[in-house]
Amino acid sequence: MSAFIRWVRRNLVVIAGLLTLAFLILPNVVVMVFSFNKPKGKFNYAWQEFSTDAWSDPCGVADMCGSLSLSLQIALWSTLGATVLGTMIAFALARYRFKARGAVNSLIFLPMAMPEVVMAASLLTLFLNMGAQLGFWTILIAHIMFCLSFVVTAVKARVMSMDPRLEEAARDLYAGPVQTFVRVTLPIAAPGIAAGALLAFALSFDDFIITNFNAGSTVTFPMFVWGSAQRGTPVQINVIGTAMFAIAVICVLAGILVGNRRKKHA
Amino acid sequence: MTDTTRGDVRLSGISKTYGSFTAVHPLDLTVPEGSFFALLGASGCGKTTTLRMIAGLEDPSSGTVHLGDQDVTALPPYKRPVNTVFQSYALFPHLSITENIAFGLRRRGIKSVKKQVDEMLELVQLGDHAHKRPHQLSGGQQQRVAVARALINHPKVLLLDEPLGALDLKLRRQMQLELKRIQTEVGITFVHVTHDQEEAMTMADQVAVMNAGRVEQLGSPADLYENPQTTFVANFLGTSNLITAEVADKGADTLVVKAGDAKLSLPTARTSADTRTGEKVLLGIRPEKIALTHADEAGTIAEGRNRITGRIAQSSFIGVSTQYVIDSPAGNGLEVYVQNVEADRRLAPGAEVVLHWNPEHSFGLDAAQDIDAGTEEEVAA
Amino acid sequence: MTTVTDAPPPLAPAQPPAKPPKRRGRFTPYWLLLPGLLWLVVFFALPMLYQASTSVQTGSLETGYKVTWHFQTYLDALGEYWPQFLRSVLYAGIATVLCLLLGYPLAYLIAFKAGRWRNLVLILVIAPFFTSFLIRTLAWKTILADGGWVVGTLDTLHLLDVTSWLGLTEGDRVLATPLAVVCGLTYNFLPFMILPLYTSLERIDGRLHEASGDLYARPFTTFRKVTFPLSLPGVVSGTLLTFIPASGDYVNAQLLGSTSEKMVGNVIQSQFLTVLDYPTAAALSFILMAAILIMVTLYIRRAGTEDLV
């Protein structure tokens, strides 16, 4: 018994860490298990019996797949917008000295230090005052706005850590300004830009609070889930949640495998 | 090659200021075509800025840069027939070794690069590594890729910015010889920036010693070493004993100077200071030029040699030589290197000795200068 | 990396130039900044002004609103909704502390103990993000369901008595109590604590632990005197990244709580989207923003870290 206690004491950090990990994973396990449930009534909160009905008909719920495709569209467009605008800002901040740097940095930082509900509410007052029609465009505008700062942060870090001599070397080797940018700067900054874009996509796709305020009657996927929590949760929600989780994990693992193989063979 | 001005690099009145700080004072310098030229100095002396102005990476505040007859001052770097080997190499991490080397050719629209790249890989002995990425190579290999990447463009001038700074000592020696070999083989003008005096002396035909944005002295390594004209050059290249002395008599070819109780002679031709009788002068002598004799045998020293008496304060055995530090009335802390051929056991700390040398090896410097300029402690501070 | 024969490649340039390279185009940075900054000014800064102005307007939906500098709205809003404000700060505060306590061991595990499992554990921390957080929050309804095994276990261990004495639960329920809301908040923002903690722990040189041990520090002293102080930047940004969104959240209170767990976010949401009392909603949102900014500024001053971005 005392040996067991000693073992626990020595591995206390590992045990605590693994418990936290379990706490993090548990809801995903529940989501997955309940995607095979066949609930009685409208809510999928209690286990009844095993069934693959939902998996064989994932779009069998009215409007759900429509909201999913709308969310994907918005995520793609806002990723594109935020990545282009954010990369430009990041380059300006990392590469040039100019006046009002501090002010620009604060303007980039503030959206990340603001509770979403504040941004959501104030943006809504603007749209109401302008008499804008709430819907796809207002959602897109809002998403680009709050994704922008995250892209700037990711790209800036990468550009700042880049050796400025690389660009000098390119210019020294007969590459004009455009060629230097396309052949050297952009490829080296690419991992940072990709990281920023991925982050923007994930943030936009999963955003609820800002969308909730500025969507009007348009329904994105998180909005659909929110509504169904009131009206009744179809099992298909769990199917989509599980599928997205699986796709993400497979993509990441594949990426790691390809990366390892390239390292070995290069 | 007969027309000597054809490929020379000529800097005329070139300077660089950043706000109120002057990195390079107006400077005139000619690098002859086909030479291996070194810009030597401590960090912050303006040597790299000078190099960058030749490359076009820095706009001079005044003056012009000529390559042969062409004024390139206003040309951006990508239009100058000059290439650079950067400090820490700046190899493109996202490109293979082949593509790194081919980069310049491709930018000038040359399609078939394979033959030239292969030749270059051959020249720098990296044929097996063509498809690797820079991070997969060792420091020495990266350095050779950087040289190949620049040389493949057949520049009029190759600029090297501390190219060996990131390598360890042994590899650095090896690469010094390697670079010298490549330069002899391709016959291109090399301008080499370094803070390592040994490196500059081993490799270069001509060395310009820079200090605080100015060229202190220009010449062949042997000339700089044997006949330094400032205390900075005397201390920065190797070690010098600088003795403060007073001019006692001024002859046609020789000055007689007094230091402590010793009377020493100094060739006028080797004195850069303009001195009159009664004025101060610095007499310099390299430690290896001095012979050491125990005081008991002072009588055996040949006539006509400069001599100083003193006492050994420290001695350290180096292997090929023994280095002594000697205090004397003429000056404390004089250094003497004695070859370990026939060791005299009496030469130990505390022993009374006579230092003597051929007066021809003395050099004279202006006493108004900082006597410690260019010493290691001073450069480090 | 098997081909490295001699010296390792240089780690960093010996003397990087102090300034970014000078460019010829003087106006280039402004052109680069213009579109993005314009976006932020129009859709982030300007709305703040609109909101400030809305908060001092009076009127109704039918007659329209006018700026009347009616600051009474602020007092009324605070007077009526101070419990929700207090709850927001309290719940977000507890959740942040719990995140730190739960997240630190895991971040430490990933940084120092995971070895070749490091990437896998990191993926497991990030991967849940890809399932919509609303779906995952709903899963807690199942986990914490009345009569479920979690509640059963807590009951058997008499932990429910403790939490109910603390006012966190009521009777033999967890759902629709403060505990459920805090649990949801902790769960939702835990990765935002773990990732910055991991980043700053990972930068710590492992030899420092050995050096500390060599200098007679026991493992716990090493942690207290070396590891924890060095991870402070991660602690600061982790707590901010957890506390700020948690204090404005209304999803957890809505899905896992009852009407007596409503936070300020819920009030702002319903005032804006259901009650349509825009001045009150704007005033509440403005107070929340001001409170957060003041707290964050004080906290950053106190912690002495300014380089968060």
Q: Which residue's entry shows tokens 């008599």?
A: B249
Please tell me the predicted confidence (pLDDT) of residue B312: 95
In-domain check, residue C233: yes
Q: How many angstroms separate the Cα of C34 from the Cα of each of A95, A108, C27? A: 15, 13, 11
CA dist., res. A25 & res. C123, Å (int) = 11
In-domain check, residue C133: no
**DSSP run (H or E) holding B249:** strand B241-250
Q: Where are the alpha helices (DSSP H) in A35-163?
A: 53-56, 64-95, 101-109, 116-130, 136-160
| Chains touching B by CB (3 or more pairs below 8 Å) | A, C
Average pLDDT, chain C: 85
Mean pLDDT for C169-193 is 92
Pairing status of strand B189-194 against strand B36-40: parallel
Residue numbers in B near A185 (CB within 8 A): none
In-domain check, residue C166: no
Domains parsed from chain B with CATH numbers: 9-231 (3.40.50.300), 239-380 (2.40.50.100)
Q: How many angstroms separate the Cα of A8 from the Cα of each of A19, B77, C87, C100, C109? A: 13, 65, 37, 21, 15
Q: Which residue's entry shows tokens 């003087």?
A: C26
Residue numbers in C near A119 (CB within 8 A): 44, 47
| Whether the predicted pLDDT of C21 surpasses 90 | no
| Whether the predicted pLDDT of A138 surpasses 60 | yes
> What chain B residue is nearest to A188 in terms of C-alpha separation?
B94
Per the CB < 8 Å rule, is A169 touching B57? no
Mean pLDDT for A57-80 is 93
* Residue B139 contacts C where some CB pair is shorter than 8 Å: yes
The C-alpha angle B73, B77, B79, rounded to 5 degrees, equals 85
In-domain check, residue C168: no
Per the CB < 8 Å rule, is B92 touching A168? no
Per the CB < 8 Å rule, is B78 touching A266? no
Please tell me the predicted confidence (pLDDT) of residue A108: 93
Which one is predicted more confidently, C7 or B65? B65
Q: Are B351 and B294 in contact (CB under 8 A)?
A: yes
Please tell me the predicted confidence (pLDDT) of residue A236: 93
CA dist., res. C24 & res. A111, Å (int) = 32
What residues contact B300, with CB distance under 8 A and at least 6 apart? B293
Please tell me the predicted confidence (pLDDT) of residue C12: 37
| Sign of the Cα pseudo-torsion (C151, C155, C157, C158, in order) | positive
How many independent structural domains does chain C possess?
1
**Hey, is A208 helix, strand or coil?**
coil
What residues contact B354, with CB distance under 8 A and at least 6 apart? B292, B293, B294, B295, B298, B301, B307, B308, B309, B310
What residues contact B138, with CB distance under 8 A and at least 6 apart? C4, C5, C6, C7, C8, C9
**Tens digit of each residue's pLDDT (9 = 90 or more) over C212-250:** 888 888 888 888 888 888 899 899 989 999 999 999 999
Residue numbers in A near C66 (CB within 8 A): none
| Chains touching A by CB (3 or more pairs below 8 Å) | B, C
Tell me the shortest Cα–Cα distance from C15 to chain B, in angstroms. 9
**Other beta carbons less than 10 A from residue C169's beta carbon:** 23
Please tell me the predicted confidence (pLDDT) of residue C16: 38
Q: What is the pLDDT along chain B (381 residues), one digit of tens a residue?
A: 444 456 789 999 999 999 889 999 999 999 999 999 999 998 888 999 999 999 999 999 999 999 988 999 999 999 999 999 998 899 999 999 999 999 999 999 888 889 999 999 988 888 889 999 999 999 889 999 999 999 999 999 999 999 888 788 888 888 898 889 989 988 899 999 999 998 999 999 999 999 989 999 999 999 999 999 999 999 999 899 999 999 998 888 889 999 988 899 999 889 888 778 888 999 999 999 999 999 998 889 888 899 999 999 999 998 889 999 999 998 889 999 999 887 788 899 999 999 999 999 999 999 888 888 888 766 665
DSSP characters over C233-262: HHHHHHHHHHHHHHHH--HHHHHH--GGG-
- Number of residues written out for chain C: 309
Q: Which two tokens stand for residue A200?
A: 């923007």
**Tens digit of each residue's pLDDT (9 = 90 or more) over A160-176:** 988 889 999 999 999 99
Select from C13, C175, C161, C186 the least CA-distant residue to C106. Answer: C186
Tell me the shortest Cα–Cα distance from B94 to chain A, in angstroms. 7
**DSSP run (H or E) holding C291:** helix C278-303
Q: Are C278 and C272 in contact (CB under 8 A)?
A: yes
Please tell me the predicted confidence (pLDDT) of residue A1: 66
Q: Give me the CATH number covering residue C287.
A: 1.10.3720.10
Expressed as residue numbers, the domain containing C242 is 70-122+180-303
CATH of A65-220, one of 3.40.50.261, 3.20.20.70, 1.10.3720.10, 3.20.20.80: 1.10.3720.10
In-domain check, residue C2: no
In-domain check, residue C50: no
- Give the HSE-up count for residue B341: Cα atoms under 13 Å, Cβ half-sphere: 5
Please tell me the predicted confidence (pLDDT) of residue C9: 38
Surface-to-core class of residue C243, CB atoms within 10 Å of its CB (0-12 exposed, 13-18 middle, 19+ buried): buried
In-domain check, residue C147: no
Q: Which of residues 227-266 of A touch B (CB under 8 A)?
A: 266
Please tell me the predicted confidence (pLDDT) of residue C239: 94
**Tens digit of each residue's pLDDT (9 = 90 or more) over A204-245:** 999 999 999 999 999 999 999 999 998 888 999 999 999 999
